Structure 1
Amino acid sequence: MVAPAILPARGRNTGRPRAGMSAIERSRRRLYWPMLLPALILMVLFYVVPILYAGWLSLHTWDGINELKWRGAENYIQLAKDPIFVGSIGNTLKILFVVGIVTFVFAFALTMILRDMTGRKFVRSVLFFPTLINAMVFGIFAGFLFSPAGPLNKILAAVGVTDPPKWLAQDNLFNLIMIVMIWSATGYFTTIIMSAVDQIPAYYYEAAGLDGAGPWAKFRHVTLPLAWDVISVCAVLWTMSSVKVFELILVFGGSTAQAPPASTWSTALYVYQAAFGGGSREFGVSAAAAIVSLALVTVLTIGLRRMLRREAIEI
């Protein structure tokens, strides 16, 4: 009797062609590493190496000209005591949760409306169009729209409103930024979710209708479970993109010569301002803020993936 220890485990990928394998399987095994290696090299060069360098730089103080000076964890301690950085984390979390929840509520509502609408492909293209426009354009347009002499105040004056709200006041600025984000992101996620809904057979909805299910019940018991994998991917995409919101806030709230109010900063904008804004350039503090942002998005993404994990439903 042959000892079990010398037998290869069933299904184990040993990396070597096994006896009885087809020619296609053997060629796939031989091409696995040659095809994967270029992507791994690029990922290491453009992702891993910069992250390691940022981590090393975050332990120093450097203005970009003089020599680096070791500072240890002082940059991180400085960030923890900096109310602007703490506020930027709060703003980033507002973008993640408040803007994200409202965006997905609108996306789900539009999905329920568009599912049975005639001409839904055209409407979906219209909703997706804002995604093709750079966020800086949205910032410039929103600044023009809500300016004191902008079209919105002129319309309000025409209907008799003599004292319009100060839209671009510091207390209202971040709320307007979140509204613009919702407007620009809703169509994108609606389009992705609708692509999953289009794959759901119509007889599921017909059966639910025969059982007396209304639009909400159909969405809850048919659309949501069968499109769950795509929805969870959308949630992860939003989590990663919300931490990187930068240009919209910079253009909307600031200018080429002046930074936006610190109360509107996100962590990404804080990283930029620490490195290139103001009179002093603190690349060490900027790198530390970037590492904290990376840790934040990593924790949030892993936690979200675990929270949204569920058994796949085959259609």
Structure 2
Amino acid sequence: MATPVLERTAARPAVRVEGIGPFEAARRRMIGPFLLPALLVYALVMIVPSVFTVWISFNDWAGAGPMEWAGLGNYTEMIADPVFGQSFVNTMKILFGVGGAVFLISFVLTMLLQDMVGRKFVRAVVFFPSLVPGLVIAILWGFMLDPDGLANSVLEALGVAEPPLWLAPENMFTTVMAGMTWLAAGTYTVIFMAAADRIPRAFYEAAELDGASAVRRFWHITMPLMWDVIGVCAVLWAIGALKTFEFVLVFAGATGSLPPTGLWTFSVYAYAGAFPSDGVPRYGIASAAAVLTMVLTVVLTLLVRRVMGRRERTDY
């Protein structure tokens, strides 16, 4: 026999709430006005200059006076330029060579420091170069590797008769890559260590009981569970590598002049077109280089996300 309360509940029709309350409606109406100033600033700072850069890339322009329509002329001239070809090769060396070294060093340090006593202090020491601006690191790197600098002085004290010429033309770009590796390795090591710290210790304990070595634990537990972080770091590195500019310009270039063309990257090539050491600026060529860099950055970012986009898994 149904109770009176149950009878009243069963007899009551279901109430379907349609729409939203007045407070929620007012809140939604205010989203647009509050976002508008930020959107306007973003459009003025990012969208408008980007569109204008694309437009300039199809014109010949010296920065003043009328523009002359060039169509794809700037792009074809740039691609046929051997200096641009060398800039492309140098940028790829930084992207893959320096990137591979940075990630390898970061992985090794993460594995070695996981159970190390005093790991926080070591992590702070490793991260220290990243706290110093890249321009300062480039200047210090040049002073240290100068023929009369600290590196050669130490080698001479150790009995090396002829210390290597770090800043010789044939060694210059390798030296640049080494400096960039030292500068970036600390940042990615700290990121990877933070990602490894969030992994439950029970996984490592179970693997250790099953006889898994430290290398296997890192490869089959740490790596898969921090794969999402590795993917984000790969995207960040790809974007940064394609924009490499200040380290090369400050380290390899003399005061007030551009570095040798054999050391140029995409960004230095674009800068040289807009601010040449001598001659008339060619903003069309510079804009074409900037647009190509932007396109490569987008394509490479999407490619990295596609390759790195797999689910986390653990197996040892």
| Equivalent residue runs for 1:179-258 within 5 Å | 179-258=178-257
Which consecutive unaligned segments of at least 5 residues does structure 2 have? 1-16
Decide whether aligned partners of structure 1 residues 44 and 262 sit closer, same or farther in structure 2, where only a CA change above 3 A counts: same
Aligned residue for 1:305, secondary structure, equals helix
Worse overlay, 118-127 or 46-55? 118-127
Decide whether aligned partners of structure 1 residues 78 and 311 sit closer, same or farther in structure 2, where only a CA change above 3 A counts: same
User: 2:289 matched to 1:289?
Assistant: yes
One-letter code aligned to 2:283? F
1:10 corresponds to which residue?
none
Query: 1:22: Cα distance to partner?
Result: 8.2
1:150 corresponds to which residue?
149
Decide whether aligned partners of structure 1 residues 238 and 24 sit closer, same or farther in structure 2, where only a CA change above 3 A counts: farther
Describe the superposition over 1:218-239 as per-residue Cα deviations: whole angstroms up to 9, x where unpaired.
1111111111111110110001
Decide whether aligned partners of structure 1 residues 28 and 91 sit closer, same or farther in structure 2, where only a CA change above 3 A counts: farther
Describe the superposition over 1:170-218 as per-residue Cα deviations: whole angstroms up to 9, x where unpaired.
1100001000111010110111111111111111110111111111111
Describe the superposition over 1:247-287 as per-residue Cα deviations: whole angstroms up to 9, x where unpaired.
11011111223321111111011111111122221111100
Aligned mates of 1:206, 1:239 — CA distance in 2 = 35
Aligned mates of 2:85, 2:47 — CA distance in 1 = 27
Identity score, percent: 44
Decide whether aligned partners of structure 1 residues 65 and 192 sit closer, same or farther in structure 2, where only a CA change above 3 A counts: same
One-letter code aligned to 2:175? L
Q: TM-score, normalised by structure 2?
A: 0.88
Aligned residue for 2:151, secondary structure, equals helix
Decide whether aligned partners of structure 1 residues 225 and 38 sit closer, same or farther in structure 2, where only a CA change above 3 A counts: farther
Worse overlay, 111-120 or 206-215? 111-120
Decide whether aligned partners of structure 1 residues 162 and 46 sit closer, same or farther in structure 2, where only a CA change above 3 A counts: same
Aligned residue pairs, count: 297
One-letter code aligned to 1:150? G
2:3 corresponds to which residue?
none
2:300 corresponds to which residue?
300
Query: 1:118: Cα distance to partner?
Result: 2.0
One-letter code aligned to 1:283? Y
Aligned mates of 1:36, 1:130 — CA distance in 2 = 38
Task: Answer whether contact 2:87 2:263 (CA < 8 A) is retained.
Answer: yes
Decide whether aligned partners of structure 1 residues 212 and 165 sit closer, same or farther in structure 2, where only a CA change above 3 A counts: same
Give 1 or 2 for the bigger CA radius of gyration: 2
Over the aligned positions, Cα root-mean-square deviation in angstroms equals: 2.1
1:49 corresponds to which residue?
48
Aligned residue for 2:83, secondary structure, equals helix
Query: 1:49: Cα distance to partner?
Result: 1.3
Describe the superposition over 1:102-158 as per-residue Cα deviations: whole angstroms up to 9, x where unpaired.
100110111111111122222212211211111111111111111111122222222
Aligned mates of 2:220, 2:26 — CA distance in 1 = 44
| Equivalent residue runs for 1:16-35 within 5 Å | 19=18, 29-30=28-29, 32-34=31-33
Which consecutive unaligned segments of at least 5 residues does structure 1 have? 1-17
